[in-house]
Every structure is written in C-alpha cells, then in structure tokens.
Structure 1
C-alpha cells in the first residue's frame, strides 16, 4: 500500500533538512537503574528523604546532570536548526536585504560559509568593486555628473564676482580656454584643496572651529553635502546614524530621533536599573552647545546665569559637576532651561547648554559682560557622547588607551570594573591624554589584574584624586591651540592599515598584533574628559570635535552596545521621574513653544490626514463632567496640546471668584455675560471665566508665560480681567501612578477628587470585589466637576518598571497643597473614562 497518498516524495536535501530539525529537537535522556535509586539501602542514593516529601537537591541534580545538558543542547541547536542560510543566522540588528546575495554585507567570520552556500546553489556572488570595473560606461556617472554641475555653477558665479575672478589663475580667461578646460582645471584646483590646506597640520582636514566673543561658523563638510547643510548642520556621526535611525531637523541640527528597530523594552532593560542592565546605550550628544568663559567678572556672571548655588566652594575647587537651571540675566525669576557647568580653575569655566537656549545665553552674556568676559564658542570644536547602562565605563575601557603614565587613567581602569555606578562617589571624574582608538585592530579589555575593586579602592577614587593632572588635561581641552595641536599628524585609514600590515608581516615574537605601538614623536594624542553626572545618572565623554568619529566607530563594535536617539533619552528620563527638556518644561519659553506650536501642529496634522469618518469628534463626547457649561461643548481646552493658557485663566478665575466671596455658580439662567462701561467683561460666574479664555485665545497674543515654579507677585490694583490673564499660575511637577488598570497619554487632563467623593475613590483603591472574588472594574463612578481641572500630563505611557501606567505632568500648586489626599483623577483626551492615580512631587 502506498503511504504517500499522492504526495511528492522527498528528495535528498529535503530529507536531510527534516532529519536535521528532528534531531535538533530530540532531547536524549540517560537510562536510569531503578534498583539503584529506589531499592538500595543507601540513603544517599535516594532522591527523596525518608518522609518522602523533601527533595535532596544535590543528589537530584547530580543524577539528572546528563538530562539537563541535553536539554540546553537541544534548545541551542533547535534555535539555529531552521537557519539554512548564513544571513538568516545573523542577529536582527545586523540583517540586511542585500546580505542574501552580497557577501560584503555579512560579517567576516561568516563570509567563507556564505560563499560556499552561494557556490552550491549556483548563485552569483556580487562584488560591487568588480561590477563597477566591468560595467560599461555610458556617459557620466552620478558623482561625475554632480561634480560637473557644481563646476558649471562655480563658473557662472566667477562671471559675476570680481573677487573670485582675481583668485583664479591668470591663464583662465574667456578667450584663452574653452568650457571643458575650465571645468578640468577647476576640478583639479578643488581636488588639490586650494590654499586653505596650508593651515591644516594633518591630512584628514581636521581643524579647530572656535570663535571668541562671537558665534562660530558652521563646520565645513564635504563639497558633496554642502547644500544639505545650508541651514541644518550635521553631527560627525550623521552618515552613520542616517543609515540606522529616523532623523529629525531641530535647533539647527540634523539629529537622530530613534533607531529604526523597536527598542522600547531594550532601552528599559539596558538603560534602567542596574540589576537588569547588561549593556550600554550611547548617543552622539554633540548638539549640546559648549562655551568656555574666562575673565575677571567670571564669578559674578556665573552667579547671575546659574544662581548662587553654582559658585559655592565645593564646585569651584573640587571638580564637582553642577547641574541646574539657566536664568535670564535681566530677570532672575525667568528660567531658560537646564544648564551644566564645570569649574576648570578660578578664572575659567566650561558651560553646556541645550541648543534651543544656547544662542540666547551666548548673546546675553556678550551684551552684559562684553568687556570683562571672554567667551569661546565651542559648539563645533568640542563634541560629546552620552552613555547609559552598567557597562558604560567597561565599554570605554576597551577602546581608550592613555598615551603616557597617568594616575587618572589608573583610576579609570579600576572604576571600569564596577558595574553598579551608585557605589561610586558623587565626584567621579577622569581626564587623561588618549591615543588614536584606531590603533586597536578590535576593541579589547584592559590588561592587568581583573580582581574586584574593594571598598578602599572606591574610597581612594576621591581621597587620592589627582587634581594637578586633571587640571592640566581639562585646561588643554578648553584651549583652542591645544585642541588644534591634537590633530597634528592625524593618520588616515590607509596609513594605519599600512602600519598594521607591516606589523603582521614582521616577526611574531615582537607582538603588537592587536594594537599599533604608540610613538609620542609621530603619533597624535588628544585630551578626553569622562564625567559621572549625578542627577542624570549617566556618563558623559567630552573630546575634540574631529576625534569623535574614530571613538564612535570603535565603540559601536563592542558587543551589547546600542545607539539611541532623543526618544530614548526622553523614555529614560520619564522612567526615572525626571523632566525632559523641552517637552516637560512648560514654564520656560522654549518648552511652552514646543507644546503649543510643534507638538500641537504634529498632532493636528495627523488628525487632519484621517478621513472624516475616522476622525474622533471632540465636540460630541458625552458624560465628561457632572455639570456642563453653556458655552463649552465636548472636550475642554485645546484638543492637541496641554492648554496651559486655559489652566492659568481657569484657576486664577476660580481663585478670584472665591476671594470675592461669590459662589461658584456655573452660569446665570436669567442673564448673559455683562460688560462695564469700558467694555471689560464682568467676572461673576464660572461661565464668564470660560468666555474670557475664548476672548484671549482668539484675539490676543502675549509673550507672558502662563506658568511659573515660584509664587508670583500679586498686584491687587489690577482690573479683574488683567489679574486673571496676566498673573502666571504657580504649578508643581508631579508623577501620577495609576492605582488601577489603564494607560495615560500625553496631554491628558488631571482633576482633583471632590471632597464628597473621597470615600468612594478610597474604596475603589482598596478594591470593590464581585461575588466570585475578582475585582470589579466596570463600575459607574461619580464624575468630577468642570471646575476640578487642576493640570495636564506632559509625558504619559505604560511604565515597564512599575508595571502600571505612570504620568508626569504639572498641577496647580494651591490645589496640591489644599487637597485632603494625594488622589487625582486622570482622563485621556477624547475619552470619558477617569482613572484613579496617586501623585508625588518631582524634585528638580
């Protein structure tokens, strides 16, 4: 009887594959002698105790050791049994569609196997270089066409510019040569580098782009990409990130927003708690502006910019990294944004600022301290890398080598063996001269003793801190001449490859196979600064601008090192209950514009792109509040942002009505809104406050910020309308943890719990159970009043660490202090479902 039932029989390859998968999934077991384990009188040979209820773990493990090994082997072999091609065995972050036919896209350790597989299947092996040589040329290639067009544009510009005519050689004139000759000579002149190459001390074209008391020009990139950097500058790692990340244009830079692969859970595990972290997250943070201040009135300028806390002795003399706020020089009550600074010495200080406020601070310092202060704009001369994770220092120790004996480098070598950065002292800083990381053929751990550091070693990081060495390195890092000197004799990749090839061909007894030996006379070295930021809980590497790319390439070759973008920085700040600038800074001008302009425009455009049948109608959402205003239908406030102007007028108006001794009536049924003789709206009921908000949002545009972190100066002489609209609302940053299921979203509304509903929500917190013992979630809860709105959510989602929804936002300070409990109600925009949450204040 034919058992195939009409099916096509398997060929040799198909049968081999099926047997391979079957063998991989087969778990072998050792034959057990029952008499030896159960009948023997020896108690040590039995798995169970005499009572029969307690398992003897050592005996059981030793007897089942073979089965455990076979289980692990089966799990490992079954994982890769279905990968018939080598490119299918690659990890997800290394997979490329071109890897199936181009061996150049496969790691070197797997290329020989890939070539054998291609030859077995008669697949053509593609080599881009050979294809370009054998390809027939029909006209100009893409690069040649681009250069030809650029030359034509230059020629047209030469015809209009007298200064450029004088710069050209004498023989290049219209009657002497033809167009092609001009193009040929111009291409040669561009290739030779003109006369500006004489200022370079290296073949890489690296130079120090620093300006004193004025903003530095954008760095000169490749001619091919000049047009793309006309308004938005590229970071040194732009081309690398553009292939692996989603990019965005903001604040004059082209920045990495988020990796193309899903990484929300990986970011939480690696960049979060030390217990779960087993890798490193890195980001090119060179877009943060750096300036160096020096002068006789330095302490006065720093105190006006960063507050009195930044000029204390512990920051000026002990190399302690300061993190705080930058204030307006003319009005200290106005917060501009976050600020970081490091005192180099009594006369010099290094300041790092977000690019959104950098130009404002730079120009303000130049205007107020023009003659007494020297300001170096180091935006394009100092770069930085931000690292998070338990293996951050260990990853840096694999690629950084000191050029000479240095006590700070020895401390760095000791600290790199510590996985938990919380045991390190608050002042953890390393500075030393580093050799070119490209000298290493591959990242390698530091040699020497790998013993675990003791408590005395950790204490010595602060007790035996090398002040003189660190001061000298940081001074060189802040000096434009020393930074330019670090580029001297900077080697190209071809030169380094030639040196490495000569080492491989030399006597193997000499060693140096992994690292090209450093020569202080011919090889360059550059200063680096590694800082542990106590508030941000991450590591910051600061180095010269053109040394960032070699470090970045080597850093990303280390296993378990992943790149991240701005979105991952925001996620980590959210999970650690920290405010992320500028989204969580609505009390600053930049944060208010980010919310009311950029984020609102993006959300509104996304809503408008949907067809009318798929859009959520915000005006027809029922059962939002226990009461309803006549002039407010549906969702309250702006639908696509946190409406801070509404919160300011709303809370100030309610406070004004209470101070006047008036009842919080929603509206007058007998009359409409009243106006006085000057045309000013009378504020008598809550509906008048809402009408006032509509007047302000439609007609007036004010530069006054609606929020403040400090108590505002109250002026009772103002008219009621001006008192409500021009007095900023004092708010408190809070973190709201959901006490039941649900997930908060950005721009969600925060309500206080009415006093008559506190007992009900306390019972909900304890749990209302059904007859079967399960918690009842589908309950009809009492709705809050429209006057109970006290804040908005700036960042909200599901918190992987807490296992529940968590929302960061701001609430009215008066409502927070007068609440009988820490309960609040959170409602997402466009819904009528309220979630109970417990709020706690975020420390700034």
Structure 2
C-alpha cells in the first residue's frame, strides 16, 4: 500500500476516516451563538432603558437571560456531546462501574439504550454475541451445575472405593461389586436424603426458615451443599456471593465480610456519605454480622442496668423508645468496658440488643451466667438481618423499593419525608415500622409519585403523631420466632413471580405495565420491617428477617446512585466524623488491644519482612529523633509496628514515680543499674524505666490492656512496690482528634509528643507562619526536638481528611499530661521518621 503523499503545504493528507473523526469532535465542541438586537427587547413604557449600556447602565437580568437562552442551551448540548465524542466503541461510553474487559462481549451486561449499537459493532467486527436466554452447555450437553454434580459423584465413589472406613459406614449393597455406577449414585442420594430428615421443615420452596435459639447460641445457618466446606469456620452473610464478585473479602470474627469494593471509592465515599450538600447518592452495607439478641424476664432491668451502667434506663430510652447507642460494660465489673452497644426497648418486658461480633458471645455468656434464672435470651444472630444506609437519598431509595401490605400510618410518614435529603433535621426518635410486601413484586424500583414537597410540618409530625401502637405491633412480630417463620410462608421463587408478571401482562396490558404485581393477602407473604435512624452515626438502619434481606438487597442495588461499601469505608466515614471506630480506635478494651498488638502488628510486620533489606526501613539506625539519648535503646522507641501502650504505661507511670521522689535524670554515669533484695530493678533514672520495659517485653505478653479511660478508672488503695506500681497500674488516657496545622500526613501508630514550655513560643510562631523574604511560606525549618520523656500518646487512625483539606488523626494521650498543658498543641512524628509536625488537639466524647 502506498504511503500518503504530503499536501501542497507540506502537511500529511488525512484519509476519510480521520477527517470524519476530526469533524465529529469539532462539531461536538462547537457552541452556536445567536446575534441579539437589544433594541427589540424594550418593554413598553421603558423605551429609554437599555439592557446593556456603554456607560455602565443597569443590567436587566430577566431580559438578558431570555435573550441568551439559546446560547445557554447550546453550551449544555456541547458539553453533553463532547463527553462521548472521542468514544469509538459503545463499551468506552459505559458507566464507570460497568467498564470491565471480561464483560465487553456480553450485550446483557450493558444498559438497554446501548444494546442496539453494541450489536451493530459486534456484528461488524465478526465478534461472538452471547445468546440470550440459552443455557451455556458444554460438548457433553450438560450445564455447569450438572457437570459439577456428576464430577463430585464420581470423586465420592472413587473415595469410597479407596477408604475402608467409608466402606464400612455405608450400606452393604452400595459397595457390592455388581452394582453399577448409576445405581450407586441413586442410592447415595437416597442415603443423604435420609440423613437430612432432622432438618427443619420449611413452608416455602426457597428453604427459608427461622434459625434462632433460646438461652443458647443458635446453630450456624445451613447453606448450599456446594459451598458447605467453605463455611465450616466462617459463616457467609446472605449477600456473600453478590459481594464476593464486587469486593475484596476478609475473614474475621467468624464471618466472611466485605472489606472494600474492588473499585476505587475513597472520594466517592467522602462525597456521598459525608456532607449533605455534596451527597447525591446512597452507601449501603450488609451488617447482618452484627449479633442481635432479645432479652426478657423479671431480671431485665437489672441486666440492662449492669450492661449499660444504668444509662439505658433513662426515660427517653425506656418510655419514648429512642435508639440507644453507648458502651457495653462487664456485668460484674463496671470498670471494664467491652465495646459499643446498641439497644431498643420494644416494650417494658422486652429489649432488642445489637452487638459487634467480637464481643457478642462474651456478653451472651456473661448474661446467662449472671442472670440465668431471671432473664430469657433469644439468640437472633442468624434470624434477623440488617442493612445500613448513609447518604442523602437513603429514604428515597428505600421508598422506591418498599410497599406496605396494608394501610399504615408509619409507611405514610415514610412517603411524606422520603425526599428530605438533610438527615440532621429529623428528630432524635425517627422510626418507621410496617408490614412490607415482597420487594420482588416490583419489576424495577419506582419512586413514589408525590408532587408535594416535604415541609417542616411533616418533620414535626414524625414526633407529635408517632404511631406508637402500629410500631409496637410490628416490633412484636419482628421479635417473635413464629411470626418470622410465618412470614416465609409461600415465599415465591423468581420463576413464579415472572410467570405471574407474564400472566398479568397478557390478561390486562394496562395493569401489567404498572410494574407491580398486586398483593394478595391470602396468597402472598408479608414480613415485618424496621427502619430507624441512628443519631450518633447519622445513618439509617434497616432490620428484617434473615431470608428477606436478599430480595431487598437486590432491589436496592438497582436504584441509581446506590453504591455498596465495606468495613474500610465504614472506618473512613467514622474517621471523617472525628468519631472512634471499633475495634481499631478502642485500645482500652480487650478486643481493641488485641486488634492493635496482635492482628495489625502481625500484618505490618509480615509486610516489612517481605521486603529486601535494602528496601525497608532500618528502625534501629534512625538518628536525630530526640534532643537527648538514653543508653537503653537506639533508634525508634517501642514496638515498630503497633501503638506500644505498654511502653507508654511504663514510661508515664515511671516519670510520675520519679517526680514524687525528686529530680528526674536521664541516666546516672557514676553507677550502674541496681536491684533490691527481691531481685526487682530499682527505678532511679529514666534509663531504668526503659530497661524495665525491655525486661517485660521479653517475658510478658498479657491480654489485659495497660491503659484505661480517665473517667472509668477505680483507684486501688493497696500498697505496691515501685516496680509493681509502674507496671500494673493502668495508665489513664483520653481520646483526642488532632488536626495538622502544616503540611504532612499522619499515619497509624504515629507518636504524639507534648511541647515543652521552652519550645512553646517557637511552635506558636510556626502556627502563624514563618515566611521568606519574598513573602512565601517557609517549610524547610529546623524544628527543636522534644525529649524522650515528652511522649504522651499514639495515633490509632491517621489519614488525609478530604473535608478539612489536611491530615487528621485520632488517638489517645495521657490524661494527666493533657490536663497540665497550657495550650492545645502537640507534635506528631510518624514511625520510622525524624520529622515532627505541629497539630492542635480536641477531646473526643464516647
């Protein structure tokens, strides 16, 4: 093929395809304008006034906008066209969430409005088109599921033939030599079916049943036999298969959970789940791994009082049925905090309790052992499922997929406020409860057509006209195992619903086009559903029976601008609200302390060990970290891969001990370390404190947290030796949130130092800014270094805050050292560095 010859002006001539593409882009970016004669737009009686005057007259806004209406529409049209002008294939114009190379051949994976063009492009390129409505059978005529079953049967039979113990366990006729393969398979299936007769009887074709237990832990939910071996130690949530295709998964606390979507979503999470003014969608997560238990009995008040330190007995929680969010305490010792707790008084004799799975079994066992004769506990971990929604469209998304089975005031209230985007305007007790129709009755999500805009009266009616009796009736059904099991009666399959939809469309096309299968009370099931607002988290919690979660989840994710998230995004949202996330930000609890010193430490240590020596930080050779030095350590202080709370406890308690006994010295060059008659190390200088820490770190690895909250510590009056008082007295800490006042980014496990009095003026001057001669801000300044004794805390969660535009860190500092500070300034240093950043701190309430 001959090359294109240069044009008359030395430029290469373009072929027809290149000219077509250039003209298409040029036409898309062309904005047409219309010449307007302003004299034609004079209004009668005001001929002397002009829209635009050369002498700077008054601009008539209405006339000017109407005259430029054509240009504004052309600008919007050009912006819309130029967005997809460079796309040569339809798969390049797909939404961001659907851009997958593996699905670029499947027409069913793209929106319907794009399928005709996709078919033309695929036929033009002789690309294979996936047939619609046909099963993907192999060469042997079997589907994938049939092939899997056949292979598994052959493998089981081979295993039976090799294992003598399995042959003895089976009937004699199955292992007979004259038995054919099909006969063996048939008899094996009968044998398996006979062994499953003890399973609960279901009142539906989907196998849904209520899996709860009274005064004992409920058994694990039985799943499909195909995935039975994978759920031996870690239970799958109802949405596991859906999430496993779209998220990174992790195994924790006995569940297989979604950690984070495979798509990058840090900014999207901030925009949707953060400020209401920027939110235009919904973030949803399956939170069924949170354990739910129902407590009743004569000892209910005593049990709730001991578990919540009498906080949940207040009138607004017990009488007004407000959702309680607080801390769970040990029922025998209120000074021991277990973790966060959520509670709802259903009635005077029944309480609904939600707990994190890390502390669920601990609380369950403690209540049974302490109040075994006075309370009755119903384990509903696998009987009640829940979904959490956050974002401006949360109620709008729910109202587009939910329909009430009968006339209900609570559902009418939901419809009246569904279009309210600002969640902060809702009262503290905002709750909706009604009997819900199967969400699959809707062919597609459809918003409730209510032309009336919500007013302040609708918000006030949520509190003044609260339907107490209707909500209580639904809550009783939600907490009753027989009512939950009855809600599964006649639960239909997708094929049955599709058949009803086809019959409806054939008999009455007008009714069929309404996109809703009519609810028949005698035939169709209805289930109790609770929607409640959580004030502290500023989100919505939806609670329903376990096997109704999946139909609702599928319909919810068909709503536009609904995104699924994982535990990582939940932690990000808590971080951006400057609140604590369990268990990472709860080091004063046993679970939080183990999370920091065991799980996260092992992960960080393994990541560091995988790197070659030339590519990893040598923590022992970091210099210029402090203004002074003690012989007991070199390089980084404490554990490199975690927040070393044991070091902080020994250091701060040791400094307080030395302050009571006289002057503090770093080391004593005239004498070595001394020991008393019992062999315990004498504490005389700071170096002895670090030597004591090194001795304990070699032998001791207790599970008891060495720190406690400042307002939850009980002082012990027993006399102890110096070493025991330093190592066994818990250090009182307080949670804080630090905001960087200069550039830089905080990391997890960063060290927090107090500012000495002699350096305070310098850091205050740095806060106002140190400028160069040309007026620019000077960043490369030599900061004064703190002392080793100025360490007062650690950062548990540190990252970049998109809302603040700077780094923000959550952590804990010594409460006594914080009370002595004259300013709210600290300096923070990341692990493995010698760079200090100035930050201001504020107290975080639990």
* TM-score category (smaller protein): over 0.9
Q: Which residue of 2 aligns with 1:517?
A: 518
Does structure 1 conserve the Cα–Cα contact (< 8 Å) formed by 2:38 and 2:51? no
1:141-182 Cα shifts (integer Å, max 9, x gaps): 4453134335666888996598x75xx7x9757377345411
Q: Which residue of 1 aligns with 2:699?
A: 699
SS in 1 for 2:151: helix
Q: Which residue of 1 aligns with 2:229?
A: 227
Q: Distance in 2 between matches of 1:191 and 1:5?
A: 85
Q: Distance in 2 between matches of 1:115 and 1:77?
A: 22
Q: Which residue of 2 aligns with 1:62?
A: 66
Q: Does 1:288 align with 2:293?
A: no
Q: Which residue of 2 aligns with 1:647?
A: 648
Q: Which residue of 2 aligns with 1:719?
A: 721
Q: CA deviation at 1:137?
A: 6.0
Gaps of 5+ in 1: none
Q: Distance in 1 between matches of 2:13 and 2:138?
A: 44
Q: Does 1:382 align with 2:384?
A: yes
SS in 1 for 2:520: coil
Alignment of 1:21-60 (within 5 A): 21-31=25-35, 44-48=49-53, 50-51=55-56, 57-60=61-64
SS in 2 for 1:546: helix
Does structure 1 conserve the Cα–Cα contact (< 8 Å) formed by 2:153 and 2:185? no
Q: Which residue of 2 aligns with 1:90?
A: 94
Q: Distance in 2 between matches of 1:141 and 1:160?
A: 24
How many residues are matched? Answer: 835
Higher mean displacement: 507-516 or 254-263:
507-516
SS in 1 for 2:119: helix
Q: CA deviation at 1:632?
A: 1.4
CA gap 1:333/1:4 in 2 versus in 1, 3 angstroms: farther
Q: Which residue of 2 aligns with 1:599?
A: 600
Does structure 2 conserve the Cα–Cα contact (< 8 Å) formed by 1:666 and 1:687? yes
Structure 1 residue corresponding to 2:761, chosen from 746, 749, 759: 759
SS in 2 for 1:613: helix
SS in 2 for 1:692: helix
Alignment of 1:638-787 (within 5 A): 638-660=639-661, 662-709=662-709, 710-715=712-717, 717-787=719-789
1:552-603 Cα shifts (integer Å, max 9, x gaps): 0000000011000000000000010111000000000000000001111111
Q: Distance in 1 between matches of 2:74 and 2:798?
A: 46
Q: Distance in 2 between matches of 1:189 and 1:5?
A: 87
Structure 2 residue corresponding to 1:276, chosen from 275, 278, 300: 278
Structure 1 residue corresponding to 2:103, chosen from 93, 99, 102: 99
Q: CA deviation at 1:135?
A: 3.1
SS in 1 for 2:84: helix
Q: Which residue of 1 aligns with 2:405?
A: 403
CA gap 1:176/1:310 in 2 versus in 1, 3 angstroms: farther
Q: CA deviation at 1:371?
A: 1.9
Q: CA deviation at 1:132?
A: 3.5
CA gap 1:512/1:158 in 2 versus in 1, 3 angstroms: farther
Q: Does 1:464 align with 2:473?
A: no
CA gap 1:837/1:547 in 2 versus in 1, 3 angstroms: same
CA gap 1:713/1:453 in 2 versus in 1, 3 angstroms: same
Q: CA deviation at 1:36?
A: 7.8
Q: Distance in 2 between matches of 1:134 and 1:797?
A: 51
Q: Distance in 1 between matches of 2:38 and 2:409?
A: 65
SS in 1 for 2:502: helix
Q: Distance in 1 between matches of 2:478 and 2:164?
A: 41
1:767-786 Cα shifts (integer Å, max 9, x gaps): 12221122222111111111
Does structure 2 conserve the Cα–Cα contact (< 8 Å) formed by 1:49 and 1:55? no
Alignment of 1:519-668 (within 5 A): 519-660=520-661, 662-668=662-668
Q: Distance in 2 between matches of 1:551 and 1:132?
A: 28
Q: CA deviation at 1:716?
A: 6.0
Q: CA deviation at 1:2?
A: 4.8
Q: CA deviation at 1:189?
A: 6.7
Q: Distance in 2 between matches of 1:793 and 1:70?
A: 53
Does structure 2 conserve the Cα–Cα contact (< 8 Å) formed by 1:824 and 1:839? yes
Does structure 1 conserve the Cα–Cα contact (< 8 Å) formed by 2:829 and 2:835? yes
Q: Does 1:204 align with 2:209?
A: no
Q: Distance in 2 between matches of 1:512 and 1:299?
A: 54
Q: CA deviation at 1:419?
A: 1.1
Alignment of 1:129-140 (within 5 A): 132-133=136-137, 135-136=139-140
SS in 2 for 1:258: strand
Q: Distance in 1 between matches of 2:275 and 2:681?
A: 54
Q: CA deviation at 1:704?
A: 2.9
Q: Distance in 2 between matches of 1:685 and 1:716?
A: 25
SS in 1 for 2:518: coil
Does structure 2 conserve the Cα–Cα contact (< 8 Å) formed by 1:25 and 1:74? yes
1:427-478 Cα shifts (integer Å, max 9, x gaps): 001111001000000001123x331222222112111111111111111111
SS in 1 for 2:217: coil
1:504-563 Cα shifts (integer Å, max 9, x gaps): 112234456300000010100000011101111111000000000000000000001100
Alignment of 1:36-435 (within 5 A): 44-48=49-53, 50-51=55-56, 57-127=61-131, 132-133=136-137, 135-136=139-140, 141-150=147-156, 160=166, 174=176, 177-187=179-189, 195=197, 199-435=201-437
SS in 2 for 1:326: strand
1:71-117 Cα shifts (integer Å, max 9, x gaps): 22111101111222222111111122133222132233322221122
Q: CA deviation at 1:121?
A: 2.4
Higher mean displacement: 808-817 or 212-221:
212-221
Structure 2 residue corresponding to 1:840, chosen from 830, 839, 842: 842
CA gap 1:465/1:155 in 2 versus in 1, 3 angstroms: farther
Does structure 1 conserve the Cα–Cα contact (< 8 Å) formed by 2:675 and 2:682? yes
Structure 2 residue corresponding to 1:15, chosen from 19, 29, 32: 19
CA gap 1:429/1:161 in 2 versus in 1, 3 angstroms: farther
Q: Does 1:791 align with 2:793?
A: yes
Q: Which residue of 2 aligns with 1:443?
A: 445
Q: Which residue of 2 aligns with 1:477?
A: 478
Does structure 2 conserve the Cα–Cα contact (< 8 Å) formed by 1:712 and 1:730? no
Q: Distance in 2 between matches of 1:153 and 1:221?
A: 24
Q: Distance in 2 between matches of 1:511 and 1:247?
A: 40
Q: Distance in 1 between matches of 2:259 and 2:53?
A: 58
SS in 2 for 1:385: strand
Q: Distance in 2 between matches of 1:7 and 1:145?
A: 66
SS in 2 for 1:81: coil
- TM-score between both structures, scaled by the size of structure 1: 0.94
1:246-272 Cα shifts (integer Å, max 9, x gaps): 100000000000011111111111001
Higher mean displacement: 506-515 or 591-600:
506-515
C-alpha root-mean-square deviation of aligned residues, in Å? 2.5
1:752-781 Cα shifts (integer Å, max 9, x gaps): 110111111111111122211222221111
Gaps of 5+ in 2: none
Q: CA deviation at 1:346?
A: 1.2
